Structure 1
Amino acid sequence: MKGFEIVLDQTDLQIIDELSQNSRITMKELGQKIHLSGPATSARVLKLEEQGIIEEYTILVNPLKMGYSVHAMISIYTKDTHHQPYLFFLKNYPSYVLNNYKISGDSCYLLECRFPSNKELDSFLTELNEHVNYQLSIVINK
């Protein structure tokens, strides 16, 4: 809708902040933190979901404990305007690809990946280079 603006008050912002830190918190616990009853808190959260402000709940996993020690940011330079072969290639690697951002600037995409080792990274890059050119950066620390 044109001209439609959702206004968030301080309580909404507190709810978002608390859920960002722990999305598994009970509505009763959340209500205690923001000084509302459990049912009132639940109604507020539902309203934020219905407005599309809260889109989903997720988990944060430890990549090292899962065996992924190499975190790579890869700038992608397509060889032509037809990007479908590259995008299709990525679908073969859902366990490695975290995000594929279409961006402005020198490159076309910024690809964020995790790999168990440099050997897997090298294999991935060899196949990737059949579709696009790239520039690799390894994440040293978050």
Structure 2
Amino acid sequence: MLHIASLFAVVAMIGSAARWRHAASKDFPRCREQVCSFYGVFALNLELDAHDRKILALLQENARYSYSEIGRRIHLTSPAVAERIKRLEESGVIQGYSVRLNLRALGYSFEALVQVTVESHEALDAWAATRPEVLALHATTGNHCALLRLALKNPEHLQACLSSLGKIGKTSTAMVLSSHWEHRSRLPADQLG
């Protein structure tokens, strides 16, 4: 079975935070659902076999592989591959497909990581949704409640973002000098379930 590591510990931690914030509330179960939904906590109960793991590994390598190419590599028919991929998509294991862009080629010369402390996650979500320079928004633990990854054209662009963001929360910013790993886009097949 595929399980998210420490799911129950995370739910318990979130439950504790929700109880603390809403001690007087009778709506704890609803509150826990909202918090879990905000933080993206969910459970998958899907059995992955060796073929599923190989399909996931190949799609991570190149999401544009055809069903027939995947089938040729793992010794399955195209319809069998298509059915497995459909099941992986419907179950949420495969959440989508994307393109990696060269940000420098598009005029974004640097990136910044901005830790944010806000009273309202909804305000931060709304702010980030309107800002094309936001590459990622993560809810975090620690001294700050969120981490933003921004692609920026110049220092003035960063200043404008921070000024706007400062209206809804406190920030702490780090400039990315270099990236040794842009992102780990692939999990080894043996780690996929």
TM-score, L = length of structure 2 = 0.65
For the residue of structure 2 that corresponds to 1:5, the secondary structure is coil
Q: Is 1:14 equivalent to 2:54 in the alignment?
A: yes
Q: Is 1:87 equivalent to 2:140 in the alignment?
A: no
Unaligned runs of 5+ in 2: 1-42, 180-193
Aligned residue type for 1:134: T
Q: Is 1:76 equivalent to 2:113 in the alignment?
A: no
Distance 2:82 2:45 in 1: 22
RMSD across aligned positions (CA) = 1.9
Distance 1:4 1:141 in 2: 35
- In the TM superposition, residue 44 of structure 1 has moved relative to its aligned partner by 1.5
Distance 2:68 2:117 in 1: 50
- In the TM superposition, residue 97 of structure 1 has moved relative to its aligned partner by 0.6
Distance 2:59 2:165 in 1: 37
Aligned match of 1:38: 78
For the residue of structure 1 that corresponds to 2:126, the secondary structure is helix
- In the TM superposition, residue 18 of structure 1 has moved relative to its aligned partner by 0.7
Contact 2:44 2:91 in 1 (8 A): no
Distance 1:124 1:11 in 2: 45
Aligned match of 2:169: 132
Q: Is 1:98 equivalent to 2:135 in the alignment?
A: yes
**C-alpha offsets along residues 69-123 of structure 1, whole Å, 9 cap, x if unaligned?**
1111100022xx3344433333331x10111111111101111110111111111
| Pairs within 5 Å for 1:52-63 | 52-63=92-103
Aligned match of 2:64: 24
Aligned match of 1:123: 160
Distance 1:33 1:107 in 2: 46
**C-alpha offsets along residues 27-82 of structure 1, whole Å, 9 cap, x if unaligned?**
1111111121222211221221222211211111111111111111100022xx33
Distance 1:54 1:4, change over 3 A: closer
Distance 1:91 1:44, change over 3 A: closer
TM-score, L = length of structure 1 = 0.86
Contact 2:108 2:151 in 1 (8 A): yes
Q: Is 1:108 equivalent to 2:145 in the alignment?
A: yes
Pairing partner for 1:51 from 91, 97, 103: 91
Matched length: 137
Aligned residue type for 1:76: V
Distance 1:91 1:50, change over 3 A: closer
Same amino acid, percent of matched pairs = 27
